[in-house]
């Protein structure tokens, strides 16, 4: 990773923050992209405190123009992106599908799938030119069992689509040095998990609420650092078209 340029979306907190800190510790210069400037500054400070280099870029990546502007700023600052970690996502909306706002459902697909694909397509030309690149799409175990998380239709659909996108792109690029893989991070103690526990059980379903509450209470969640440490050794390899599942390593 030494002197590579890495872009981590959602690098302000949770799993994205841990991935960013660990990639920086391996010598990469890290661009952090999310909406909350204070959280991005916090991650940048963590990286700087350990002797690493980071830049922060505030943008809603669901908005294609803002995402493109942020990427242009990153490239101007560091040069082309060598490692892209598409980590930012939402688990909302949760609830019975008949009651969901279809626009909220579409917003989730826009962030979790379309923004990730747009960013990948934008960084690909330079990666192909330099004959080296790493794209990691952060998925979820829900993609393996889309029927296993009721009242999370947008999330299940988005992660299954993200994995199909990953595997198709990896196959297309198989004779290049650009790899494309997905990472299922396991159940991780983050703001996303806390948000699910904070939802009304009547809205999201008692079964789903109970499952997330008991995972937390039983202490079975990974820390973000533990999850990220399962990804880092994989990024260094030339493997492509893989679904790396934290559950296989824990």
Ligand X SMILES: NC(=O)c1ccc[n+]([C@@H]2O[C@H](COP(=O)([O-])OP(=O)(O)OC[C@H]3O[C@@H](n4cnc5c(N)ncnc54)[C@H](OP(=O)(O)O)[C@@H]3O)[C@@H](O)[C@H]2O)c1
Judged by CB, which is closer to ligand X: 7, or 169? 7
Judged by CB, which is closer to ligand X: 54, or 98? 54
Residue number of the CB closest to ligand X reads 14
Which residues partner with 180 through β-bridges? 135
Judged by CB, which is closer to ligand X: 98, or 169? 169
Place of tokens 């991780």: 188
In the sheet with 178-184, reading across from the earlier edge strand, the strands are 53-58, 29-34, 5-9, 83-86, 133-138, 178-184, 243-245
Phi-psi region of 162 (alpha: psi -120 to 50; beta: other; left: phi over 0): alpha
**216 tagged catalytic:** no
**Closest distance between ligand X and the C-beta of residue 245, in Å?**
10
Report the SS3 class of residue 8.
strand
**Closest distance between ligand X and the C-beta of residue 172, in Å?**
23
The one catalytic residue among 17, 33, 116, 155: 155
**Closest distance between ligand X and the C-beta of residue 4, in Å?**
21
Judged by CB, which is closer to ligand X: 4, or 159? 159
**Closest distance between ligand X and the C-beta of residue 141, in Å?**
7
The Cα–Cα gap between 165 and 104 comes to 22
Place of tokens 């490692």: 83
The Cα–Cα gap between 169 and 87 comes to 17
**Closest distance between ligand X and the C-beta of residue 47, in Å?**
15
Q: CB under 8 Å to 108, separation ≥6 — which residues?
A: 90, 92, 93, 154, 155, 158
Interacting residue ranges for ligand X, rule: CB under 6 A? 9-10, 12-16, 34-36, 39, 60-62, 87-90, 111, 138, 140, 185, 187-188, 190-193
CB 162 within 8 A of CB 136: no
Judged by CB, which is closer to ligand X: 54, or 88? 88
The catalytic site residues sit at 155
């Amino acid at each position: 990773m030494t002197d590579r340029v890495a872009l981590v979306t959602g690098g302000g907190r949770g799993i994205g923050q841990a991935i960013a800190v660990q990639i920086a510790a391996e010598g990469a210069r890290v661009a952090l992209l999310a909406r909350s400037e204070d959280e991005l500054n916090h991650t940048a400070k963590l990286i700087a405190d350990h002797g690493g280099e980071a830049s922060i870029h505030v943008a809603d990546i669901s908005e294609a123009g803002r995402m493109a502007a942020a990427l242009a700023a990153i490239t101007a600052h560091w040069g082309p992106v060598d490692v892209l970690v598409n980590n930012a996502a939402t688990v909302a909306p949760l609830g019975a599908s008949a009651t969901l706002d279809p626009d909220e459902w579409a917003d989730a697909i826009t962030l979790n799938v379309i923004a990730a694909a747009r960013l990948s397509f934008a960084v690909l030309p330079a990666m192909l030119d330099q004959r080296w690149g790493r794209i990691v799409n952060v998925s979820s175990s829900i993609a393996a069992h889309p029927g296993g998380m009721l009242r999370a239709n947008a999330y299940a659909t988005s992660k299954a689509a993200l994995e199909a996108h990953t595997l198709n792109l990896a196959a297309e690029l198989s004779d290049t040095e650009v790899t494309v893989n997905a990472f299922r991070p396991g159940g991780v103690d983050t703001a996303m998990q806390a948000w699910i526990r904070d939802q009304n059980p009547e809205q999201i379903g008692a079964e789903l609420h109970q499952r997330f509450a008991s995972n937390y209470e039983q202490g079975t969640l990974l820390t973000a650092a533990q999850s990220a440490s399962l990804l880092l050794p994989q990024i260094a390899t030339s493997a492509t078209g893989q679904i790396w599942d934290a559950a296989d390593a824990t």
